[in-house]
Amino acid sequence: MAKNSKTIISGPEAVRVRFAPSPTGYLHIGSARTAFFNWLFAKKTKGKFILRIEDTDMSRHMEEPIDLIMDSLKWLGINWDEGPDTGGNFGPYRQSQRKDIYSSYAGKMIADGNAYYCFCSQEKLAEKRQSFIEGRGSDYYEYDRECYYLAKDKIEQNLKEGIPYTVRLLVPDDYDIAFTDTVYGPISVNSGTQEDFIIIRSNGLPTYNFSAAVDDILMEITHVIRGEDHLSNTPKQILIYKALDEELPVFTHLPMIHGADGQKLSKRHGSISIEAYRDEGFLPEALRNYLALLGWAFDEKTTVFSSNDLINKFSLKDINKKPAKFDYEKLLWLNGYYIRQMPEKELEKLLAKRVTSADISIKGKNITDKNIAAVLPAIKKIIPLIKERVKTLKEARDITVKFFEDINYENDFIEYIKSNKERALGITEDALSLLKNIDDFSHQGIEAALRSISEKRNIGFRKVAEIIRAAIWGARVSPPMFGTMEILGKDTCIARLDSFMDMLS
RNA sequence: GGCCCGUUCGUCUAGGGGUUAGGACAGCAGAUUUUCAAUCUGCCAGCAGGAGUUCGAUUCUCCUACGGGCUACCA
């Protein structure tokens, strides 16, 4: 009999949780949330967070994704106490390296009569399924236990002859598999709904439900926190615990994250890898905050949580059941919020890093880590101008780059300006002669000079600014114009006004 | 098909037998303004449907509908 679930944690130190991705690609946004919730819970309880790689499917797993996943976790600020790279007392932390462990446990289960050898080939199984389905007219099929009834000497003989075999769990009849999920409450399933599923494949490697359960036992995992898609797998794993006579961990299943259409979040919904969000210029702290809000809430009003807030306030009890739709707009808003709150020094570092990798040049020279010093003063001045109007670092980079690149006058806005060429020319000329003669090329000086144009011509400054902006920025929208011009500097502004005039006439 | 799970504004959610059902994002309107943002103010908008329990259900129970998951020698 399986022992009762651990409903009381014996002490905060005792908590051990794990994130167990299979390395099939990148770190998915949903997996990231699972990892994060595990991590939060570990931090909150001062427990241990373990990273375990579930790479038992030889046909699917690759080496690169393991590094990719670890990099993404680190970028998000999720560190682990034990894992494939850091080691620990419960290793190895890659399932592909634990084959012997699973075999010995399977062997023990066979010896105890809780599991049995199955010599049915995949072809034979397919036939069984086929004929069964045809006979019943339904697509429901479960293994008929043919090999369970094999005589002892026949089994010995098959083994001796080297006939490939799998190991199946002997599922007890009419047993009530019950557990209490932290989120979903009491759940019970009759064992009659479970077939004698395979725990060891013919290649000797374990299947997911077996390796996960065995490792959770051996790694002394106290709380299993994972996606709701595993809720239906839990009874199978409980059966393993029962066969091994082990105490159950606390199970906590997290609601799924869906796309806007309610389907499982996938590529067609946009970016789903953490790397993509990093590249698009999202801040890890914003992403963490948003992820936390997907399926968890602290109270009726708080939306923004610092990382410490999150650790202090997080509780498994506050996780809700309803699947959440991923709302990119809200993430964007949150990211913008974090950018606005960020100290300028920090933003400066992040932006400088992006600018050096942006492949732009000043005076024919690419900006690299080496000569970044040349543009750093400008970046320092650009930041206050843009930090309130960008939502991602990528946007910030794009605007910054425009300060250094050659201007381009080919777009609809410029066409529109051309529709009143006379006035545009006149205003540009005015600006040019005024600006050439001011000594104080600060935004105050520039403003005073340019505003005089609207007085002289008796038109709204709005109209004047439109033209100047077109000339110095080439677009309808720019960062605050006077500040922008100050950063651009007198020479550049005059050069741009000149070429704007040339372009017009 | 079988089993499991879910359903509060468009979205994320709070709430809970009697509430003007609260907040945030988005949207709309206004203020501000050299553009765009940011900021501030206001507005719009929700308990899937049907029975039952009850003096009273959005809240509790059941059913239906819809959605999701599992049902592999995937994880």
Question: How many secondary structure helices (H) and strands (E) does chain A include?
Answer: 20, 13
The complex scores an ipTM of 0.94
Q: Identify whether A1 is part of a domain.
A: no
Last residue of a domain, one of A104, A134, A163: A163
Q: pLDDT by residue (tens digit) across A207-217?
A: 999 999 999 99
Q: How many domains does chain A have?
A: 5
Rg (CA), chain A: 32
Average per-residue pLDDT in chain A? 90
Q: Identify whether A215 is part of a domain.
A: yes
Among residues A298, A295, A286, A299, the alpha carbon closest in space to that of A330 is found at A286
Res A11: pLDDT = 47
**Residues A227 and A313 reside in one and the same domain:** no
**Residues A381 and A251 reside in one and the same domain:** no
**Residues A79 and A95 reside in one and the same domain:** yes
Nucleotide nearest to A334 in CA–C1' terms: B25
Q: What is the CATH number of the domain that holds A187?
A: 3.40.50.620
Nucleotide nearest to A263 in CA–C1' terms: B68
**Residues A184 and A90 reside in one and the same domain:** yes
* Measured distance CA(A214)–CA(A216) in Å, rounded: 6
> With bands split at pLDDT 50, 70 and 90, how would you rate the model's confidence at A135?
confident
Last residue of a domain, one of A404, A429, A450: A404
Q: What is the CATH number of the domain that holds A458?
A: 1.10.10.350
Q: Check whether A7 has a pLDDT greater than 90.
A: no
Residue A310 structure tokens: 């999150």
Phi and psi (nearest 5°) for A43?
Answer: -65, -45
Nucleotide nearest to A120 in CA–C1' terms: B73
Q: Identify whether A7 is part of a domain.
A: no
Q: How many residues are given for chain A? A: 505
Estimate in Å the CA A451 to C1' B4 gap, whole number. Answer: 70
Give the distance from CA A108 to its chain's centroid.
Answer: 39
Residue A188 structure tokens: 């019970």
Average pLDDT for residues A345-356, to the nearest whole number? Answer: 91
**Residues A91 and A156 reside in one and the same domain:** no
Which of chain B's bases lie under 7 Å from a protein CB? 1-8, 10-15, 22-26, 34-39, 67-75
Res A232: pLDDT = 95
**Residues A332 and A355 reside in one and the same domain:** no
Last residue of a domain, one of A367, A382, A404: A404
Among residues A319, A330, A467, A332, the alpha carbon closest in space to that of A392 is found at A332
**Residues A239 and A272 reside in one and the same domain:** no
Nucleotide nearest to A481 in CA–C1' terms: B34
Res A165: pLDDT = 96
Res A178: pLDDT = 93
Q: Identify whether A423 is part of a domain.
A: yes
Asked whether strand B has any atom less than 7 Å from the CB of A66, the reply is no
Estimate in Å the CA A320 to C1' B17 gap, whole number. Answer: 22
Domain span including residue A375: 343-404
Q: pLDDT by residue (tens digit) across A391-409?
A: 999 999 999 999 988 888 8
* Measured distance CA(A459)–CA(A472) in Å, rounded: 20
SS3 call for A362: strand
Q: pLDDT by residue (tens digit) across A319-344?
A: 999 999 999 999 999 999 999 999 99
Nucleotide nearest to A122 in CA–C1' terms: B73
Q: pLDDT by residue (tens digit) across A105-117?
A: 999 999 999 999 9
Q: Check whether A351 has a pLDDT greater than 80.
A: yes
Q: pLDDT by residue (tens digit) across A79-92?
A: 999 999 999 899 79
**Residues A399 and A424 reside in one and the same domain:** no
| CA–CA distances in Å: residue A492 to residues A376, A436, A499 | 18, 11, 10
**Residues A395 and A353 reside in one and the same domain:** yes
Asked whether strand B has any atom less than 7 Å from the CB of A433, the reply is no
Res A370: pLDDT = 63
Asked whether strand B has any atom less than 7 Å from the CB of A185, the reply is yes
**Residues A141 and A182 reside in one and the same domain:** no
SS3 call for A71: helix
Res A61: pLDDT = 64
Res A10: pLDDT = 44
Res A361: pLDDT = 60
Q: pLDDT by residue (tens digit) across A231-257?
A: 999 999 999 999 999 999 999 999 999
Q: Are A282 and A335 in contact (CB under 8 A)?
A: yes
Q: Check whether A102 has a pLDDT greater than 80.
A: yes
Q: Identify whether A262 is part of a domain.
A: no
Estimate in Å the CA A329 to C1' B56 gap, whole number. Answer: 41
Q: Check whether A38 has a pLDDT greater than 70.
A: yes
Q: Identify whether A57 is part of a domain.
A: yes
> With bands split at pLDDT 50, 70 and 90, how would you rate the model's confidence at A6?
very low
**Residues A238 and A381 reside in one and the same domain:** no
Which residue is it, tokens 């400088």? A352
Res A364: pLDDT = 58
Q: Identify whether A188 is part of a domain.
A: yes
**Residues A242 and A287 reside in one and the same domain:** no
Q: Identify whether A378 is part of a domain.
A: yes
* Measured distance CA(A355)–CA(A343) in Å, rounded: 18
Residue A150 structure tokens: 């094999």
